Structure 1
Amino acid sequence: MPLTPVTLARLADGIGSAIERLLPEEKLDAVVFGCTSGSAVIGPENVTNRVHAQRADIAVTNPATAAVAALRHLGASKLAFVAPYTADVAERTADIFRGAGIEIMDACCLGLLTDAEIAVPGPDHYRSVLEQMDLSGAEAIFLSCTTSRALDAIAPLEEMTGLPVITSNQASFWHALSLIGQSRAISGFGRLLS
C-alpha cells in the first residue's frame, strides 16, 4: 500500500481495536504508536486520545512526539531531516518539528512510496545521503520512519558527523522508557540512549 496522507490518516481507525487486543489481561506501562508519518498526519494528540479511549491508564507516545522530546532533551533546535517518504508525506512529518519550534537546516526526501521500499536502504545509504547534505548549523540529525533500517546507522553516523543522530525507533524506545521513569543507559544506540 502506498504511503500517502490519505492512507496514513486511515491508520487512526485501527488504533482502538489494536489497543483492545494488545495483551488485554495485562497492565501495560506504556504503548508506542509505531508510525512517524502516521503520527504526523493523524496528530499526536489524536493518537493518544484513541489509545486512552480503550486504556486510559497507560502512557502513550509515538515517534514524532518522541523525536521532538529527544531533540529537546539533547538541547537541539536545529535539525538535518532525512525522510524516506514522498515529498507530501515528508512535509507533513517535517511540520511536526517546525510546529515545535525546531528549525530544519537541510532536508532530504528519498521519495519512496511503500514500507517495502523504505525497508531497503541501510546504513551505507544513510551515510551517502548525509554526505550530500549541508550539515553546517545543524545540532542533530533525524532519520524518520519506524520501517527504516536506521538503528544500525546511528553510531557510525554520529562518528562521521559529530552530531547526535535520532531515529524514529530509537526515540520511541527512549521516550517510552522516560515516560515510565526508566533512565538506564543502553549502549550502541547513540548519544540519546547512552
Structure 2
Amino acid sequence: MQNVAPFAFPQRVGLLVPGSNTTVEAEMNRAGLPGASFHAARMTLPLGLTGEELATKLRENAAVPLQHLSACQLDLVMLGCTSAAMALGPERSLGMVAAAQAKGGLEVGGAIVAALRALQLGRIALFTPYLDTTNAAVIAYLAAAGIETTASLGLGLNTSLERFRVVSRTGSEALAAHLEGLDHAGADGVLICCTDLPTIAALPGLEARIGKPVVSSNQAMLWAIARALGQRPDRAGGRLFAEA
C-alpha cells in the first residue's frame, strides 16, 4: 500500500495576495477542485496607489513572499490583486511571479480578460470598492484589451486600511444593493473587480436580478486556475463556470 499523507495534494497552487486580503484563500478553498491545495503568501501593498507607483511598490514588496512560495514546489502561482496586476500588465506580472519557481504562472488581470472574452462581453459596466483614480486604471487596462467600459461605480474605500476592511465583510445583499446604483443598460455584462470582495456564491443571484452575466475577480481567478489544472470548479459560480 502506498503511504501518502492526507494533505499531500497532487496539485499545489500558490496565491500572492495583499496582506489585508482575507477573502482569496476562503473563496479558492471552497472551489471544489479535487486534489488541489492553495497556499498563500502575503505582501505589503499601500492603498490608493496607481500606475507605475503601484507597480514599483509591488515589485519591491513581492520578492520575499515569492521566495517563500518557491519552497512549496508549486504547480501554479497566481498574482491575486486586481489593481496591482493591472498596473504591472500581463508580461511584467508573469515575469515577477516566475520567482515562485512554479510550473506555471497566472495573474488576475489576464484571467479577467480571458473570462470576459469567453462570455463574449465586449462592453461591461464596472463595479469596484476603489477610488475613481484606481477605476480609471482598470478601465484603461480593459480598453487596451479591446473591452469597453460603458459605466463605472467605485465606493472609494481604498484610502485607508480601516476603511478597506469593510470590503471583505460585504454580504450578498449588500453587493446586490451596490449594483443597483450601477448603470448597466448599455453593457453586455457586469464586471466586479477586487479580490477582497466575496462574490462567487452571490453571482448566480446577481445574474438573475440583472439579467446579464456577471464576472468577478475571484471567479475569473478560480476559472483560470481550474482550466490550467484541467478541471472545472465543482460549485455554482455564475455563467462563467456553467458555460465557458
| CA–CA separation in structure 2 for the residues paired with 1:171 and 1:65 | 9
Q: Match for 1:161 among 210, 231, 235?
A: 210
Q: Which moved more, 1:140-149 or 1:117-126?
A: 117-126
In the alignment, is the contact (CA less than 8 A) between 2:70 and 2:100 conserved in 1? no
Aligned to 1:142: 191
Alignment of 1:101-120 (within 5 A): 101-113=146-158, 114=161, 115-120=164-169
| CA–CA separation in structure 1 for the residues paired with 2:80 and 2:126 | 19
Aligned to 1:33: 79
Alignment of 1:1-194 (within 5 A): 1-5=46-50, 6-7=53-54, 9-22=56-69, 24-26=71-73, 28-55=74-101, 58-113=103-158, 114=161, 115-182=164-231, 184-194=232-242
User: SS of the residue aligned with 1:80?
Assistant: strand
User: SS of the residue aligned with 1:105?
Assistant: strand
The Cα shift of 1:54 comes to 4.7
In the alignment, is the contact (CA less than 8 A) between 2:127 and 2:154 conserved in 1? yes
In the alignment, is the contact (CA less than 8 A) between 2:55 and 2:87 conserved in 1? yes
The Cα shift of 1:20 comes to 2.0
Return the TM-score normalized by structure 2.
Answer: 0.71
In the alignment, is the contact (CA less than 8 A) between 1:59 and 1:180 conserved in 2? no
Q: Percent identity?
A: 29
Relative to 1, partners in 2 of residues 1:53 and 1:2: Cα closer, same or farther, differing over 3 Å?
Answer: closer
In the alignment, is the contact (CA less than 8 A) between 1:60 and 1:176 conserved in 2? no
Which of the two has greater strand per residue? 2
The Cα shift of 1:124 comes to 1.9
CA deviations on 1:157-194 (whole Å, 9 max, x unpaired) are: 01101211111111001112222332x25332111112
Relative to 1, partners in 2 of residues 1:163 and 1:33: Cα closer, same or farther, differing over 3 Å?
Answer: same
The Cα shift of 1:149 comes to 2.2
The Cα shift of 1:25 comes to 4.8
In the alignment, is the contact (CA less than 8 A) between 1:119 and 1:147 conserved in 2? yes
> Greater CA radius of gyration, 1 or 2?
2
Relative to 1, partners in 2 of residues 1:24 and 1:185: Cα closer, same or farther, differing over 3 Å?
Answer: closer
Which residue identity does 1:86 align to in structure 2? Answer: L
Q: Mark the runs of 5 or more structure 1 residues left unpaired by the alignment.
A: none
Q: Which moved more, 1:167-176 or 1:114-123?
A: 114-123
Q: Mark the runs of 5 or more structure 2 residues left unpaired by the alignment.
A: 1-45
- Structural RMSD (CA): 2.0
CA deviations on 1:68-123 (whole Å, 9 max, x unpaired) are: 00011111111011011111111112222111111111111111124313324332
In the alignment, is the contact (CA less than 8 A) between 1:15 and 1:47 conserved in 2? no
Return the TM-score normalized by structure 1.
Answer: 0.88
Relative to 1, partners in 2 of residues 1:144 and 1:58: Cα closer, same or farther, differing over 3 Å?
Answer: same
